[in-house]
Structure 1
Amino acid sequence: MKKIIPIILLLFSLNLTAQHKNRERIKALKVSFITEKLDLTEKEAQKFWPLYNAFEKETSEIRFKEFKAIQKEIRVNKDSLTNERANDLLARLNKAELKMHKAKTDFVSNLSGILPPKKIILLKLTEDDFKKKMFEEYKKRKKEKN
């Protein structure tokens, strides 16, 4: 039993390391994809990426902390959920949605001093294209495994 625990810990840490490397690789691909599609100048890129990374961090925190916590509570308590508790959850959900909307509108507002309007519009399309490509790649790899 004592020999199994270090092996389990090693496998767990290897899995976390692999996930971290995959996230970093995907992030690098996204940076390259966006830079190329938006045809960012060096000056634009220097100002754009810190702002974009801060926006991504903020929206990720909202998605993974607030939305996921609400979803988890709904799933765990769906059978015993009272109307009063459901109202509380709806209020939290609305508050998280408003935070997400504010983050997006603030981001676009901050971008207006860095990028021309056309590139700001193209950013949304480019992000959607990247997500689509990633999903297609995921489906392709999953199909290859099966």
Structure 2
Amino acid sequence: MNFKKILPILLLLTSFNFYAQSERMKEKKEQVRALKIAFLTTELEMTTTESERFWPIYNRFDDKQFEIRHQKMRAYMSQMGDDALNSMSDKDARLLLTQIESTDEELFLLRKKFMRDIKPVLSAVKILKLKKAEEDFNRKLLHQYRNRTTKKE
């Protein structure tokens, strides 16, 4: 078989692999979201009215935050591999730092807007409980991930 016949087959198999990885990532994201919803609902003890108003606002915020973190930050991190950093010019490094700072500011402004939007929905105490519950959930998720990877080794 010559290379011209093999190349389309390889491209097809590669595209299926990327599609499957994308689907698995979406499934995992939805699983995490379901766990997070259950966890936050339990921790915040929201009324039905609060819950109906809270979740659309929170889901928009969470989706946008995920998008920023996983698209922009992933691109930045790929540029910061050891080899890339060692061969990066100071000018390119300054540009990358500026981009990262801009993304950090975008995340900050998103969080600030979310807080403005959520204040009419939840009391100050529940907003603080939300902040704590998010941190607790992330810590719990990270702990489970670490336990799972330790068991595999």
Hey, what does 1:52 align to over in structure 2? Answer: 58
Matches within 5 A, 1:1-146: 16-75=22-81, 77-146=84-153
Q: Deviations over 1:8-64 (max 9, x none)?
A: 877776555444333222211110110110001111111111111111111112111
Normalising by structure 1, what TM-score? 0.83
In the TM superposition, what is the alpha-carbon distance from 1:137 to its structure 2 partner? 1.8
Change (3 A) 1:105 1:12: closer
In structure 2, the gaps of 5 or more residues are none
Number of residue pairs matched? 145
In the TM superposition, what is the alpha-carbon distance from 1:77 to its structure 2 partner? 2.9
- Root-mean-square deviation (CA), in Å? 2.5
Normalising by structure 2, what TM-score? 0.80
Identical aligned residues as a percent: 27
In the TM superposition, what is the alpha-carbon distance from 1:73 to its structure 2 partner? 1.9
In structure 1, the gaps of 5 or more residues are none
Aligned partners of 1:121 and 1:94: how far apart in 2? 26
